[in-house]
Structure 1
Amino acid sequence: MTQVDEIRMQVMWNRLISVVEEQALTLLRTAFSTSVREAGDLSAGVFDPEGRMLAQAVTGTPGHVNTMAEAVLHFIEEIPRDRMFPGDTYVTNDPWKGTGHLHDITMVSPSFLGEELVGFFACTAHVVDVGGRGFGADGKSVYEEGLQIPIMKFAERGEVNDVLLHLLRANVREPNQVVGDFYSLAACNDVGHRRLIEMLEEVGLPNLDSLGDFILSRTHAAVMERIAALPKGSWSNEMLTDGYDEPILLKAAVTISADKVHVDFAGSAPMSRWGINCPMIYTKAYACYAIKCVVAPDIPNNSASLAAFDVSSPVNITNAARPAPVSLRHVIGHMVPDVVLGALAQALPGQIQAEGAGALWNIHISARPAAGAEGRRAEVLMFNSGGMGARPTLDGLSATAFPSGVHTMPIEATEHTGPIVIWRKELRPDSGGDGTYRGGLGQIIEIAPAEGHEFEFSAMFDRVNTPPHGRDGGAPGAAGEVALDDGTRLRPKGWQFVPAGKRLILKAPGGGGYGDPAKRPEAARAEDRRRGYVTGEET
């Protein structure tokens, strides 16, 4: 390949990334659910005819993007080539073949140039409801957690499957939002397809074969170069998390060889009887993300970069077997990066951040009129974040969603979806762990039913009993708290009730500190006090 050819391929690679960015923006602009529209809880990407991910949109979460990279292969296996037609769109929410729980919808669409299959577009998004018990940990099996959609056709040759839509409407609490999001996902793939065909016709390429080979070969070479520079050996780490009714132990062993980084979760806690189990597809997504953050953060994420990382586990809470309840698989999945990073910190001392809040402090609210009052019912999903761990040279980021990367949801948009009032949403002073570099702050959120209403909420919180650890002498972050405004302590997981006139107060955990607190500059401490980050008072 000549230098001119390489430049041309690089330009088309960049063009392909712009195609998937427009694909993702279509989903953001048309989605009905606030979790997608406001928080960016989604993914979008383009794949070659073999199902290898060539490019992903920057907008999206590792849990969606990296699971989607594997999910497309399941679609190809399930739907033979002779049953694929232009105008098709396929769908599933199978936790073991999609993204780990029923609330995430994955759609895959074949892309044809004339009669030739040139690739696939895929996207995922979290919808507000899938029926069953709702978004929570209380189910005893996946059958209780909602409507299961096996890999099937959402549309064939452009004709939408009306039977599927009728089933959806009959099984979910917010049919208009859910069906609207299905159409949004399908439109997202359609936009990607149109832009890809325009690109291929414009540059005169018959398919993606040569561009795909260029992308994957260059990525593979770059990742191999990074792995070659790493120390070789095995290191292990463990972490205790809250669990549902008893603590959950997570263990990871990281082995770096000449051309692979392998993570094994043997020794982690057995499967739970509650819905906090994590299918392997989701555990793998976040384990790979943790490694990539350290080894190759600037190398594009595609099938070639992901292939350099192996993840294994016997059946346990990180590799849950069907039909385990998995609705809150993110609570364990979001802890996976800190477990892996703790092992890598031994291989790469002085380079790895402290532990943070990890799991999002999501809350799903089911609001209704109080007894004798008039009003409306609504399902409201709100994403909140604790603090990140301090970094080796910088303070931790406050109220930031690591590792999921979702955006903060504006309170105005959240209140608009249902009869609730958010009275307070602010940084939580004194919650970041002390150290040479301070851990990021958590936040305080105060939520009440609107006048004449009450609500039940699904608590899906962690780090209440087991706060994030500091690193290299740094202090732990503050543990989280869940209570009513009258001081009544509530459980960190499970469906619970907030009566009319009461307020729910959430205090998200802070991140752990990094390094010896005695070495923190006095100027930094003075700035913490000036900004109100540190008061010396417990909050």
Structure 2
Amino acid sequence: MTEQHDQTGLIDRQIMWNRLISVVEEQAMTLQRTAFSSIVRESGDLSAGVFDLAGRMLAQAVTGTPGHVNSMALAVGHMLARHPAQTLAPGDVLITNDPWLGTGHTYDFTVVTPFFYRGRLSAFFACTSHIMDIGGVYQFTDSADVFMEGLYIPILKLVEAGRVNRTLMAMIRANTRNPVDTEGDTYSLIACNEVGCRRLERMMDEFGLEDLESLSSHILETSRNAVLTEIRRLPKGTWNHVLTLDGYEAPIHLQASLTVSDRGIHVDFTGSSATVRRNINVPLCYTLAYTCFGLACIVSRNIPNNAGSLAPFTISAPEGSIVNAQKPAPVACRHIVGLMLPDLVFGCLRQTIPERVPAESAGVLWGLNVRGYRSPRQIPGDEFTAGVVTTGGMGALPSRDGLSATGFPSGVRGGSIEIFETQSPVIVWRKEFRRDSGGAGRTRGGLGQTIELENGIDQPFLFNASVERVRFPAKGFAGGRDGAAGRLTLRSGEKLAGKGLHVIPAGDRLLIRSPGGGGLGEPKERNRDAVREDLREGLISPDAAKDIYGLMD
């Protein structure tokens, strides 16, 4: 009887766990539907989750990005350190965009709402979204410290006992070029958590729960043990890898030493480049986020993401290194380096379990960030600012081709060109797969894109470039070819740097060629029908089919 009761209890907890995941997914979808920022609404640059009273993440929404989710996993603990649970009341809402206590840069607002059930504090809901403009310098890589990167909000009460902090809202509106959108996004974050609270209340009523303590223990313990079980199946030892990035004024070297033991996996970044004067430095919270994501992709991809499943993964990095930037280092473009960390982790794991590890990917998103005037008058108030996410190719996997034009590892989706064109006079004349950009191999790397832009009026416009893989393309392995390097040029022939603010002259066009992912295995071992299909679809050229893949018919 006891055994049957225990089994019934286990089934009930699993059902409630799944229900909790659906609660936070609805929370995230509310944020995506109500957001003003196109990068949130169209591309899903957000995160949402529910946390226990100790600030430990119990469930995250599938909708969202690893960088937001895994760094937000620490943010609730920071919030509680500043505003302990006993000081919070129903109707309170906390906010911050502190890069070191939130998700790595000031462009992300993180909002935390305490959930009270029948008058008793029972959980916390948290969410994050990217704000399109928070003031500061326009050229992303120009900031020399974090104080140049826009409004910096410490951990504050945005709402207290149901009353919005009007002073803080006025400060937010006054420090952005898009006050309506930024205020709207802030309210969308509040609404997102409110929906989570309502759905959790309904769930607790349905299952007759007084609190989440037992469910929390089950989720965290089960997840941690499941990850440790997977880790203990791995070979034990230490493996090292170095990854070289374009950087800004000089190449950047990322170095990792990965140690697998029965207690977990530890990644040490000693030997990585020092903090640089441009804002591609990374706070440790964001380094942790993408390191854990890279490890989870290989080791525990089928285990839900929460504080328990993340616990066996630990990191260390010297203070002042580019992956452990100290305040007030400039960090607005921390994704430039942070998104490359999964490839660094994969480089270590490839030496011990190559059958699970993909080739290198394009990594960093290739955003179309443009600015200019809507008419020849060029008067204040006549400006436009628009942006849309575009992507490169994912590295080939051991069992299948890499995805083309995908946001891996960020999880951010490519945005709508039609919406981008409604925000500015800039016209996108061409957006297509970039032929031959995926690294050749037994399994092929994903393709990048070719995109062509021109101002629709007889005026120049500004293009803010902040991309990677221009000098150092994604590597192929085991005989696979490298992916194509990215390129930025004008149609007139001038080559543009991968980082910086570029003037696109009137009548000329900007040509963007995003990088492809690396290939895996010898290209001539690729399935012949797959080569023919790639040729038929225009993904590879006839010359590549013949000379690289050895297709003779």
TM score, norm. by length of structure 2? 0.95
Give the secondary-structure state (helix, strand or coil) at the position aligned to 2:483: coil
Q: Kindly state the Cα deviation for residue 366 of structure 1 after the two structures are TM-superposed.
A: 2.0
The residue aligned with 1:390 is 396
Give, as a single letter, the amino acid of the residue that structure 1 aligns with 2:262. Answer: A
The residue aligned with 2:301 is 297
**Residues 390-409 of structure 1, C-alpha deviations (whole Å, 9 max, x = no match):** 11121111111110011121
> Where in structure 2 are the equivalents of 1:35-434 lying within 5 Å?
35-134=39-138, 136-315=140-319, 316-369=321-374, 371-372=376-377, 376-434=382-440
- Distance, in Å, in 1 between the alignment partners of 2:454 and 2:171 is 33
**Residues 464-515 of structure 1, C-alpha deviations (whole Å, 9 max, x = no match):** 0111100111110000001112111111012222233222111000111101
Range with bigger deviation, 143-152 or 490-499? 490-499
- Distance, in Å, in 2 between the alignment partners of 1:134 and 1:128 is 11
Q: Kindly state the Cα deviation for residue 66 of structure 1 after the two structures are TM-superposed.
A: 0.2
- Distance, in Å, in 1 between the alignment partners of 2:382 and 2:425 is 7
Tell me, which stretches of 5 or more residues in structure 1 are unaligned? none
Give, as a single letter, the amino acid of the residue that structure 1 aligns with 2:367. Answer: N
Choose the corresponding residue for 1:498, options 484, 501, 504: 504
Q: Check whether the contact 2:139–2:500 (CA below 8 A) recurs between aligned residues.
A: no
- Distance, in Å, in 2 between the alignment partners of 1:453 and 1:370 is 8
The residue aligned with 2:473 is 467
Aligned length in residues: 538
Q: Check whether the contact 2:374–2:424 (CA below 8 A) recurs between aligned residues.
A: no
Give the secondary-structure state (helix, strand or coil) at the position aligned to 1:347: coil
Residues 1:537 and 1:108: Cα distance change in structure 2 (over 3 Å): farther
Range with bigger deviation, 498-507 or 246-255? 498-507
Q: Kindly state the Cα deviation for residue 373 of structure 1 after the two structures are TM-superposed.
A: 6.0
Q: Kindly state the Cα deviation for residue 448 of structure 1 after the two structures are TM-superposed.
A: 2.1
> Where in structure 2 are the equivalents of 1:441-480 lying within 5 Å?
441-480=447-486
- Distance, in Å, in 2 between the alignment partners of 1:353 and 1:405 is 16
Q: Check whether the contact 1:466–1:479 (CA below 8 A) recurs between aligned residues.
A: yes
- Distance, in Å, in 2 between the alignment partners of 1:398 and 1:339 is 21
Q: Check whether the contact 1:138–1:495 (CA below 8 A) recurs between aligned residues.
A: no
Identity %: 50
Range with bigger deviation, 343-352 or 498-507? 498-507
- Distance, in Å, in 1 between the alignment partners of 2:542 and 2:168 is 57
Q: Check whether the contact 2:396–2:519 (CA below 8 A) recurs between aligned residues.
A: yes
- Distance, in Å, in 2 between the alignment partners of 1:322 and 1:406 is 27
- Distance, in Å, in 1 between the alignment partners of 2:119 and 2:374 is 55
Give the secondary-structure state (helix, strand or coil) at the position aligned to 1:362: strand
Q: Kindly state the Cα deviation for residue 222 of structure 1 after the two structures are TM-superposed.
A: 0.9
Give the secondary-structure state (helix, strand or coil) at the position aligned to 2:221: helix
- Distance, in Å, in 1 between the alignment partners of 2:358 and 2:139 is 31
- Distance, in Å, in 2 between the alignment partners of 1:524 and 1:203 is 51
- Distance, in Å, in 1 between the alignment partners of 2:135 and 2:342 is 30
Q: Check whether the contact 1:457–1:495 (CA below 8 A) recurs between aligned residues.
A: yes
Give the secondary-structure state (helix, strand or coil) at the position aligned to 1:58: coil
Q: Kindly state the Cα deviation for residue 350 of structure 1 after the two structures are TM-superposed.
A: 2.5
Give, as a single letter, the amino acid of the residue that structure 2 aligns with 1:52. Answer: R
TM score, norm. by length of structure 1? 0.97
- Distance, in Å, in 1 between the alignment partners of 2:460 and 2:331 is 27
After TM superposition, which residue ranges in structure 1, 4 or more long, deviate above 6 angstroms? none
Give the secondary-structure state (helix, strand or coil) at the position aligned to 2:366: coil
Give, as a single letter, the amino acid of the residue that structure 1 aligns with 2:264. Answer: K
**Residues 226-271 of structure 1, C-alpha deviations (whole Å, 9 max, x = no match):** 1110110000111111001111111111100012100111111111
Give the secondary-structure state (helix, strand or coil) at the position aligned to 1:272: coil
Give, as a single letter, the amino acid of the residue that structure 1 aligns with 2:161. Answer: R
Give the secondary-structure state (helix, strand or coil) at the position aligned to 1:199: helix
Q: Kindly state the Cα deviation for residue 368 of structure 1 after the two structures are TM-superposed.
A: 1.7
